[in-house]
Amino acid sequence: MAPDFLHRGSDLHPVSHPDHAATSLVTGAAGFIGSHLVDALLDRGDRVIGVDNFVRGQRENLAHLSGCERFHLIEADLSSEEGWRGPLTSLLEEEMVHSLWHLAANSDVAAGVADSDVDLRQTFLTTISALRIAREFQIGSVLFTSSSAVYGESDRELDEDSGPLCPISNYGAMKLASEAALSAACGSWLQRGVAMRLPNVVGSRCTHGVLFDLPKRLAKDPERLEVLGDGYQRKPYMHVRRIVEALLFLEDRAPAGFGRFNIGPEDEITVRDIVSLLTGTLGLSPEVHYGGADRGWVGDVPHYRYRTGRLRSLGWRAQEKSAEAVGTACMELAQNWKDSRCSQ
């Protein structure tokens, strides 16, 4: 029997821009970035199927969409076929999905260092499931949120051809393995696979990261702040709203086949500067204590610098510097901070 990809092709849904009555499938929909992406897809008129197992994602991130007829939220564990087949099959047989956005993953790097099963299951096996779903339900375009963590530690400016790639965390390793699986799918049956290497992302609904951790600590003790690492960690940051714009841009412009793209500003901000911005915006002056290590935890890459020429050649450019992105996120936090104090 001929391999099934030979029966496909003309019946694949086109890679070009969706007609906006199209259906998008978003894995990790209840998470930080996933929930913002769902909002943007609904705003442009798509029907959206969101999938999450709520291991980290929150139903409340999508609560504002209850009653939206164009949105289906499905609880399913994508780390195994048994986990997704029952909840998803009948819906996917009915809907013609144009793009599969694969965001489901472990987002806690330290948890994956402590137990390698975490990244294997939540990051790599969810990618294998996403690709099986794309193949079985003839979805031509898979857009995957990869990470700067695939590069490991390097003093060089990172572009998509930098290598060899030696991740220093299971998180980075399973992202890289996922990119490889996506590339292999494009080599045989998938029309387009886009690996989008995100920088550090900040903004409302975040589930982890420096602007999740520090405000939690400050809420407990506004007078004293313990910071992981020496504070000289230096990385590019983008606001989640801008990230979603970049993802939609790539859906529109990335060519067929396998592609990998750095997304981010070409500058960085240190943790020390983030601490100043955050405490200043919240109107706090805690005693700040930094740790002795050059990084926050094992597996953390303390600094990297992005080059984004590939994305710029398609016409995209980061609109904000890292400090602006962090500043906007701090203002949002300050508003929530004020609201939560008022309701106490």
Q: To which residue do tokens 């003839």 refer?
A: 138
CB of residue 88 vs ligand NAD: minimum separation in angstroms?
11
Phi-psi region of 231 (alpha: psi -120 to 50; beta: other; left: phi over 0): left
Among positions 52, 268, 300, 332, the unique one binding ligand NAD when judged by CB under 6 A:
52
CB of residue 136 vs ligand NAD: minimum separation in angstroms?
17
CB of residue 30 vs ligand NAD: minimum separation in angstroms?
5
Rounded Cα–Cα distance for residues 223 and 156 (Å): 38
For the segment 57-76, give every residue that binds ligand NAD (CB under 6 A). 57
30 is a site residue for ligand NAD (CB under 6 A): yes
For residue 100, the tally of other CB atoms under 10 A from its CB is 24
In the bound state with ligand NAD, the residue whose beta carbon lies nearer, of 52 and 332, is 52
Determine contact, residues 24/95, Cβ cutoff 8 Å. no
Among positions 31, 167, 193, 229, the unique one binding ligand NAD when judged by CB under 6 A:
31
105 is a site residue for ligand NAD (CB under 6 A): yes
Lay out the site mask for ligand NAD across 128-147 (x = CB under 6 A, - = otherwise).
-----------------x-x
Determine contact, residues 333/215, Cβ cutoff 8 Å. yes
In the bound state with ligand NAD, the residue whose beta carbon lies nearer, of 104 and 269, is 104
Q: To which residue do tokens 């849904």 refer?
A: 13
DSSP labels for 235-286? E-EEEHHHHHHHHHHHHHHPPSEEEEEE-S-S--EEHHHHHHHHHHHHT--P
Residue of 152, 169, 311 whose CA lies nearest to 238? 311
Q: To which residue do tokens 């602006």 refer?
A: 324
Among positions 14, 209, 222, 286, the unique one binding ligand NAD when judged by CB under 6 A:
209
The stretch among 3-11, 54-62, 210-218, 314-322 that binds ligand NAD (CB under 6 A) is 54-62
201 is a site residue for ligand NAD (CB under 6 A): yes
CB of residue 113 vs ligand NAD: minimum separation in angstroms?
15
Number of chain positions touching ligand NAD (CB under 6 A): 29
Helix-, strand-, coil-residue percentages of the chain, each rounded to 5:
45, 20, 35
Q: Cis peptide before 215, with omega less than 30 degrees from 0?
A: no
In the bound state with ligand NAD, the residue whose beta carbon lies nearer, of 13 and 77, is 77
Kindly tell me the burial class for residue 187, based on how many C-beta atoms sit within 10 Å of its own C-beta (0-12, 13-18, 19 or more). exposed
Name the H helices within 99-169: 109-114, 116-119, 126-136
In the bound state with ligand NAD, the residue whose beta carbon lies nearer, of 107 and 191, is 107
The stretch among 31-39, 112-120, 247-255, 309-317 that binds ligand NAD (CB under 6 A) is 31-39
Among positions 122, 204, 279, 328, the unique one binding ligand NAD when judged by CB under 6 A:
122
CB of residue 202 vs ligand NAD: minimum separation in angstroms?
7
293: which DSSP letter?
Answer: S
Q: Give contact residues for ligand NAD (rule: CB under 6 A).
A: 28, 30-34, 51-57, 77-79, 103-105, 107, 122, 126, 145, 147, 198, 200-201, 207, 209
